[in-house]
Amino acid sequence: MSLSRSLFLCLKEWMHYLLYFLKLYFKSSHDIKLENIALRSQLALYIQRCDKQKLPKPTPTPAFRQLWLFLSMHLKQWKSHLILVKPDTVIKWHRTAFTFHWKRKSRKVGRPKISRETIHLIKRVHQENPLLSPEKIHEKLKLLGIEKPPVPNTISKYLPSTRQPPTEKQMQSWKTFLKNHQSDTWATDFFTIPTLTFDVLYGLVIIHHQTRKIIHFEVTTNPTAEWMIQQFRNATPYGKAPKYLIHDNDSIFRSKAFQRFLTSSGITTKRTAFQSPWQNPYAERVIGTLRRELLDHIIPLNETHLEQLLTEYIEQYYNTERTHQGINGKTPVPSPEYIPTDLKNIKIKATPVLNGLYHTYKRVA
């Protein structure tokens, strides 16, 4: 199907939705309720037939997906009204739309692409002179009188990488350091998540290596060095600071203001190597956990909404109830210890967290 025909069908379906929506304004509340019952009865019969005869459900159209993205923004309890698809499917549609939106918004408009002949020449010069750096190759192209030669950064894209993977000795040395200083080490990193309106929120997480406890977290739309300094002030009251802090090569972590603050607080920074997330395993792991157990199941409305969800998840579940294999099946914040008792003599009380996404359990008398 051609692009023009697809757009025509999508607009046609949207016109159908809008005309039906306008008709509702001229109907009484009584008529709308009766019409809702009539439509639901027919839909229930159709679903029953599909389930009984195992008929394939209709494939959602682009307009249908866009409509449900709109309804998820404005309709309370929208998940309970879904029949043809699952709520996770609508969330996946939102993620896809977000990717498409930012892909178009982030379209490169920089330097024009270089020709195949130029790429071939760059590779030839490098093959015949493997010790030449991208800067030297750029200078040679200028000496050859080539008009507008690629800059060194562009030339480096077409050269084979000479970066060697870490040796076993290097990995063992880093692992030994992490193991020997678990009690004195914190790790930090950022993660991002799109909102319902396709804005990007930045989350900061700080984790203690030994206990796996999330010491501090915060959400913002524009992280800066000053904002980062304030977060670490909040995370280290009364001088309770770690001896070591592990972080990656983000420009905020490497900023002079933040590094001066850490030095004045008596914190030694341990910056990971470029493209080496394995050197910051605890921070990477906890961010993966946050994504799998919370962020992949929600679409935050704004900064405040995401902060409320993270607060409930971390304070009521992750730090206090979620067990970790790395600390022998215990929780980051020690849980009460019970005397072993037969299950017949135990009553368990469940408390929902995040509207029932998780539950916490306590023994009651």
Place of tokens 């900061």: 204
pLDDT (tens digit per residue) in 163-195: 556 666 666 688 888 888 999 999 999 999 999
SS3 300: coil
Are 218 and 231 in contact, with CB atoms under 8 Å apart? yes
Is the pLDDT at 231 greater than 90, yes or no? Answer: yes
pLDDT on residue 61: 80
Highest mean pLDDT of the ranges 51-55, 83-87, 120-124, 213-217: 213-217
**What angle is formed at CA 6 by the lines to CA 5 and CA 10, rounded to 5 degrees?**
115
pLDDT at 258 over 90: yes
Burial track 217-239 (b if 16+ CB lie within 10 A, e otherwise): bbbbeebebeebbebbeebbeee
Q: Please check the confidence at residue 214 and state whether its pLDDT lies above 60.
A: yes
Residue 42 pLDDT exceeds 60: yes
Distance (Å, whole) CA 307 – CA 146: 55
Considering only residues 286 and 329, tell me which one the structure prediction assigns the higher pLDDT: 286
Higher pLDDT, 265 or 274: 265
pLDDT tens for 47-87 read: 777 777 777 777 788 788 777 777 777 777 777 777 777 87
Please, what is the average pLDDT of the chain? 84
DSSP result, 196-258 = TTS-EEEEEEEEETTT--EEEEEEESS--HHHHHHHHHHHSGGG---SEEEE---TTTT-HHH
Q: 304-332: b or e for each residue (b if 16 or more CB lie within 10 Å)?
A: ebbbebbebbbebbbbbbbebeeeeeebb
Task: Report DSSP letters for 80-116, one per residue.
Answer: GG--SS-HHHHHHHHHHHHHHHHHHHT---SSPPPPH
136: left (phi over 0), alpha (psi -120 to 50) or beta: alpha
Q: Which residues pair with 360 in a beta bridge?
A: 351
Specify the residue for token string 């029932």: 356
Euclidean distance between CA atoms 295 and 192, whole angstroms: 10
**CA dihedral sign, ordered 275, 277, 280, 283:** positive
- The model's confidence at residue 108, banded by pLDDT at 50, 70 and 90, is low
pLDDT reported for residue 365: 66
Task: Check if the beta carbon of residue 100 is closer than 8 Å to that of residue 69.
Answer: no
Partners of 187 in beta bridges: 207, 246
Q: In the predicted model, is pLDDT for residue 157 greater than 90?
A: no
Tokens 């025509």 map to which residue?
8
* Residue 47 pLDDT: 77
Residue 193 CB neighbours (<10 A): 21
Please report where in the chains the tokens 């910051």 appear, as a residue: 280
What six digits make up the tokens of 166? 């870490």
- CA distance to 22, 76, 220, 284, per residue, from 275 (Å): 54, 43, 25, 13
Q: Which helix or strand (DSSP H or E) is residue 349 part of?
A: strand 347-353
| Residue range 120-124: mean pLDDT, rounded | 86
Q: Where are the domains of the chain?
A: 116-157, 168-327
What does the pLDDT look like over 290-322, one tens digit per residue? 999 999 988 899 999 999 999 999 999 999 989
Give Cα separations from 349 to 22, 81, 165, 318, 352 (angstroms).
49, 30, 51, 18, 10
Please state, for a pLDDT cut of 90, what percent of the chain lies above it.
34
Kindly state the percentage of the chain with pLDDT values over 70: 93
More confident residue, 365 or 119: 119
CA distance 188 to 283: 6
pLDDT number for residue 271: 92
110 residue type, one letter: G
Which CATH superfamily does the domain covering 168-327 fall into? Ribonuclease H-like superfamily/Ribonuclease H (3.30.420.10)
